[in-house]
Amino acid sequence: WLLALGLGALFWVTLQNVVNAHRSIVLRRVGELLAAQAPVLALLALPVVVPIFMSHSSIYAWSDAHEVQSEPLLQHKSPYLNPTFFLIRFIVYFGFWTLLSRYYLNSSLAQDASKDGNSIMGKMRAISGPAMIGWGLTMTFAAFDLLMSLDKMWFSTMFGVYFLASCVLSINSFLPLAAMWLRRRGVLAKSVTTEHYHDLGKMMFAFTIFWAYIGFSQFMLLWYANIPEETDWFKHRFVGGWFGGWGLLSAVLLFGHFVIPFFGLLSRHIKRRRPTLAFWAIWQLGMIYLDMYWLVMPNADAAGPPFGLIDAACLIGVLGVFIAGAALRAKNLNLMPTNDPRLEKSLAFTNL
């Protein structure tokens, strides 16, 4: 869940540079600070990664040599799914995300002190096209490695796009909450207007639909093909029917992640009022967490969601570390990119 937020922030920053957007300039520094937490995410992932490299992981069957020897499919996948190659890819993923996010933040800060903001803006835009391709590849394969490979049998070529939808929806839900929190502390209060909140609300609405579209497309194609290696993954998530076990959580995601917020975010007035937009932003962040839980935990407990105090404590703990990292990095920084040539247009931005 937190990785989706961090990667979503990096995607958002890269996209704004690719399309030369002016409306997002007032919030760009916030996105850059969130994206720059890639090293923090890498550290938080170590409890999962270290057991894999030591061949003691209890959640990734492909990391267990005895399991691989007894399972022909794992032997077939072993050239890719093995501890050494996984560690190399892990370093590549987080190394790329760290370097790219640091480049954006450092360039943005350098622009504040530069006499030629256009030159730095041009350099950031020039690198963003190739960077977007790199982001897409690393995000996709990281989703394969960290999430999809939890099930030793299952595979889906659409899984990367499914995870992308959660990444983008995460950042567009988190940014308005961050802006409101800063506003209450007198930061960006006059810069981030109703128009910017409305714009973020539109993106929340759009990617709510996109998530549902990709999720349904993946389900429909795999279920229609009816290949046991593929359909069993969904069967495990329908255990208990619609009113119990994992089936209940599947129903909650269907209605809570798409149907209800679709109508909730449909109105222009909802997206232009901070209290209602904040409600739906928190709602969708919660649904994204449940979605990640739905992807991961059936591999640990097939009977139903084992959510307890440990899960809640872990969620609060890692989120606190992530936000604290961004807050410490933001200390003594100007959150407004004051020397960006597009700032004036961003301040005057209006929705059609």
Give me the mean pLDDT over the 315-338 stretch.
89
**Do 143 and 228 fall into the same domain?**
no
**Do 134 and 163 fall into the same domain?**
no
Give me the mean pLDDT over the 7-34 stretch.
93
If one compares 327 and 229, the residue with the highest pLDDT of the two is 327
Least Cα distance to 253 among 162, 174, 192 occurs for: 162
Residues 23-43 have pLDDT tens digits of 889 999 999 999 999 999 999
User: Is position 170 within any domain?
Assistant: yes
**Do 140 and 161 fall into the same domain?**
no
Q: Which residues contact 25 (CB under 8 A, 6 or more apart)?
A: 16, 337, 340, 342, 343, 345, 346
**Do 179 and 323 fall into the same domain?**
no
Mean pLDDT over all residues of the chain?
90
Residues 284-298 have pLDDT tens digits of 999 999 999 999 888
Give me the mean pLDDT over the 145-163 stretch.
90
Give me the mean pLDDT over the 329-350 stretch.
87
Residue 114 has pLDDT above 90, yes or no: no
Residue 16 has pLDDT above 90, yes or no: yes
Report the C-alpha gap between 229 and 159 in whole angstroms. Answer: 15
Q: What integer pLDDT is reported at residue 285 of this predicted model?
A: 95
User: Is position 348 within any domain?
Assistant: no
User: Domain range spanning residue 40?
Assistant: 1-152+310-342
- Does the pTM surpass 0.85? The reply is yes
Q: What are phi and psi of 302, to 5 degrees?
A: -75, -20
Report the C-alpha gap between 108 and 197 in whole angstroms. Answer: 22
Q: What integer pLDDT is reported at residue 60 of this predicted model?
A: 86
User: Is position 220 within any domain?
Assistant: yes
Report the C-alpha gap between 63 and 81 in whole angstroms. Answer: 8
**CA end-to-end distance (rounded Å), the chain:** 33
**Do 32 and 68 fall into the same domain?**
yes
If one compares 205 and 338, the residue with the highest pLDDT of the two is 205
User: Is position 349 within any domain?
Assistant: no
Residues 56-100 have pLDDT tens digits of 767 888 888 888 888 888 888 889 988 889 999 999 999 999 999
Q: If DSSP codes are grouped into helix, strand and coil, which group holds residue 265?
A: coil
**Do 58 and 160 fall into the same domain?**
no
**Do 148 and 278 fall into the same domain?**
no
**Do 184 and 212 fall into the same domain?**
yes
For residues 345 and 21, the answer to whether their CB atoms sit within 8 Å is no
What is the count of structural domains for the chain?
Answer: 2
